[in-house]
Amino acid sequence: MTLQRNSLDWLAQVAYTTWRLFMKNSLQNHAAATAFYFMLSATPLLLLLSYGMQWLGRLAETYVPATMLFAALYNQLQLETLTEVGFLPRQTQLAAGGVGLVTLLLSSRGLVNAAQSAFGVIFPAEGRRRRFVTTWLLPLIIVPIAFGLLGLAGLVQAALSFFTHVELIAAAQGIVLKILNWLFMLLVLWLLVFLAFWRLPVERPPARQSAVIALLASFSLLALFALFDHFFRLESYQSLYGALGGAVFVLIGAYFACVVFYLWAQCLFAVARVDVEALEKLFLGGSRTGASRFEGFVFARANRLLEKYGRTFQPGEVLIEEGQESQDAFFLYSGTAAAYKKANGSERRLGPLNEGQLFGEMAYLLKEKRTATVRAETEVVALVLPPAMLEQLMRHSAPLSRRIIATLCHRLEQMNLAAQG
């Protein structure tokens, strides 16, 4: 029961952190820019696709099965709809194809730059930049590959649909092919999303977390496409916007897809940062300003943090030994302790440590051995934080950093007085 409650707390904290950061980073604006460049990149690729379909159409004129396969491809890829809305010309010209290739090169770089800009906001990496060669070559490679994989998925789906409807196989086998069809589409979509989540951030997240979040994002995108196809009709946009209705229809769909894509990317970052958020709110407690009631409710329980970082010390037990080289920081959750300093062959009590105090951070900040001993006076429950977690806390929380610096100054003053005494 406790494990389930802690899991629910973690999910609620991840969801809240994801949404708060998504709105703070204005990712809906990044989604709009990405959708715009997606349209610019997709249009010349569709133009090249029309070349291939015209060639296949001429080939199909002399072979009946090829004609049937061509019809299945045409229907599966919805090329008639794309032609009606103006994305594909009815007669492709070479001059237009040349312009399309130039547009593809320019818009591909814009598309990848828009995605990289969004990921730079979602996954902040201080002081680190991509290599110049990578920045310029990646857009020319990744977009054609991505669209090529999507096109391959569409072709496989059309071929499977063709074999199912022409009664070349049994009904049971047709059901199996349909399942394989959707699994293949999911696999291609997952692969593209996973590569984006794992490779686009400058500081790459763990591959396993990226894979799981990418799978959830893929299911969400497929659900979005199904809902969009069910509730939105192209004819409505054409009647409202006229000749631009098709472009508006595709742009809206691309925008919602980008919103879902960036929302899950933000979730991937929130998964790694949720402990930092929860610890910050626990450490600052009532000194925080601007916290909402809902935020206070989501982060009210500390059980999950206690289970992950908590340790219990009995009265008289040493938490920190003077002269040790450990760099863990401690947060006193309950109980009382005291700090002691050796001077002139004896141990002098520096002062008490009460609930809500953070201590032990000096060894990490100064890169020195422990300068004092901390001993429990009552039964103590403390959160033991490794140096990497303390670094994240100080990097992402300015109020907590100021508090740690103020505490550090106070401790140094105490030790100076103890040395003089």
> pLDDT band at residue 92, thresholds of 50, 70 and 90?
very low
Longest dimension (CA), the chain: 104
- pLDDT mean across residues, the chain: 77
pTM: 0.77
Whether 183 has a pLDDT exceeding 90, the answer reads: no
| Between residues 45 and 120, the one the model is more confident about | 120
Q: What is the mean pLDDT of residues 201-210?
A: 90
Q: What is the mean pLDDT of residues 94-108?
A: 55
For the chain, domain boundaries = 16-272, 303-420
Domain 303-420 architecture = Sandwich (2.60)
| Between residues 239 and 189, the one the model is more confident about | 189
Q: What is the mean pLDDT of residues 185-214?
A: 89
Ranges 13-27, 286-300, 346-360: which has the least confidence: 286-300
> pLDDT band at residue 13, thresholds of 50, 70 and 90?
very high
Whether 135 has a pLDDT exceeding 70, the answer reads: no
Whether 94 has a pLDDT exceeding 50, the answer reads: no
* Residue whose C-alpha is closest to residue 358's, from 323, 325, 328: 328
**Residue type present at position 23:** M
| Between residues 361 and 213, the one the model is more confident about | 213
- pLDDT for residue 256: 92
Q: Across the strands, what pairs with 381?
A: 312, 334
Per residue in 258-276, pLDDT (tens digit) is: 999 999 999 999 998 999 9
Per residue in 222-245, pLDDT (tens digit) is: 898 888 776 766 666 666 665 566
Q: Residue 102: CB partners within 8 Å, gap ≥ 6? A: none
Q: What is the mean pLDDT of residues 397-406?
A: 82
| Between residues 107 and 216, the one the model is more confident about | 216
- pLDDT for residue 51: 55
| Between residues 294 and 53, the one the model is more confident about | 294
Whether 315 has a pLDDT exceeding 90, the answer reads: yes
- pLDDT for residue 142: 62
- The three state secondary structure string of the chain is CHHHHHHHHHHHHHHHHHHHHHHHCCHHHHHHHHHHHHHHHHHHHHHHHHHHHHHHHHHHCCCHHHHHHHHHHHHHCCHHHHHHCCCCCCCCCHHHHHHHHHHHHHHHHHHHHHHHHHHHHHCCCCCCCCCHHHHHHHHHHHHHHHHHHHHHHHHHHHHHHHHHHCCCCCHHHHHHHHHHHHHHHHHHHHHHHHHHHHHCCCCCCCHHHHHHHHHHHHHHHHHHHHHHHHHCCHHHHHHHHHHHHHHHHHHHHHHHHHHHHHHHHHHHHHHHHHHHHHHHHHHHHHHCCCCCHHHHHHCCCCHHHHHHHEEEECCCCEEECCCCCCCCEEEEEECCEEEEEEECCEEEEEEEECCCCEECCHHHHHCCCCCCEEEECCCEEEEEECHHHHHHHHHHCHHHHHHHHHHHHHHHHHHHHHHHC
Q: Tokens 């995605």 belong to which residue?
A: 115
- pLDDT for residue 316: 92
Ranges 322-326, 339-343, 410-414: which has the least confidence: 410-414
Rounded alpha-carbon distances, angstroms, from residue 160 to 63, 176, 180: 19, 10, 9
Ranges 173-177, 300-304, 375-379: which has the least confidence: 173-177
| Between residues 88 and 184, the one the model is more confident about | 184
Whether 14 has a pLDDT exceeding 80, the answer reads: yes
Whether 85 has a pLDDT exceeding 60, the answer reads: no
- pLDDT for residue 293: 80
> pLDDT band at residue 172, thresholds of 50, 70 and 90?
low
Ranges 116-120, 263-267, 287-291, 404-408: which has the least confidence: 287-291
Whether 87 has a pLDDT exceeding 50, the answer reads: no
| Between residues 62 and 387, the one the model is more confident about | 387
Ranges 73-87, 184-198, 277-291, 314-328: which has the least confidence: 73-87
Whether 160 has a pLDDT exceeding 80, the answer reads: no
